[in-house]
Amino acid sequence: MPTQRQIPQPGQESVWDYPRPPRVEPTTKLIRVSFGGIVIAETQAAYRVLETSHPPTYYLPQADIRMEYLRRTPLQTVCEFKGGATYWSLVVGERESENAAWGYANPRPGYEAIRHHIAFYASRVDECTVNGEVVMAQPGDFYGGWITSDVVGPFKGAPGTWGW
């Protein structure tokens, strides 16, 4: 690892202790996503996907998302673990954030819990919070992880980290 691993303090997790392949775990923390002056999603029934070197990615149940503001896009990608992802843009009034969210309609075995759930890029919405704490977007905007004060890195995603 080219950068020094940060030592977690009490109450923190190191992303270098997360597994590969990723683990899915439920969380009851209050997760909120806002865009265009609207709370797009709010839940205490999300899942965290934890993978080595990445801050957690939060998947929110579609039942707790204001789906009328999401529009499916043609973009599709494949995760070696979770399977094929589909994407949504957010549209609120005249504002649009292209491919701001993604999910897995038919996730691979081991990831069934995130079916009918959607994750949001923190960098493509106005604000994401975890228990009221505003998150920082994972560098590089590829993996979509959310950085909070309870996780330490270094985090994969920024230029120069792809080979980790």
CA distance 10 to 140: 28
As beta bridge partners, residue 23 has 50
* DSSP helix, strand, coil percent of the chain (3-state; round to 5): 10, 45, 45
CA distance 145 to 75: 19
Cβ neighbours, 10 Å, residue 78: 9
CA distance 39 to 130: 14
DSSP strand E in the chain: where? 13-14, 23-27, 31-35, 38-43, 46-50, 57-61, 70-79, 83-92, 95-103, 117-120, 127-130, 133-134, 136-137, 146-147, 151-152
DSSP letter at 44 equals S
- pTM score: 0.95
Q: pLDDT tens digits for the chain (164 residues)?
A: 457 889 999 999 999 999 999 999 999 999 999 999 999 999 999 999 999 999 999 999 999 999 999 999 999 999 999 999 999 999 999 999 999 999 999 999 999 999 999 999 999 999 999 999 999 999 887 789 999 999 999 998 888 887 77
Strands 13-14 and 151-152: parallel
Measuring CA to CA, how many Å separate 123 from each of 11, 56, 98? 25, 15, 11
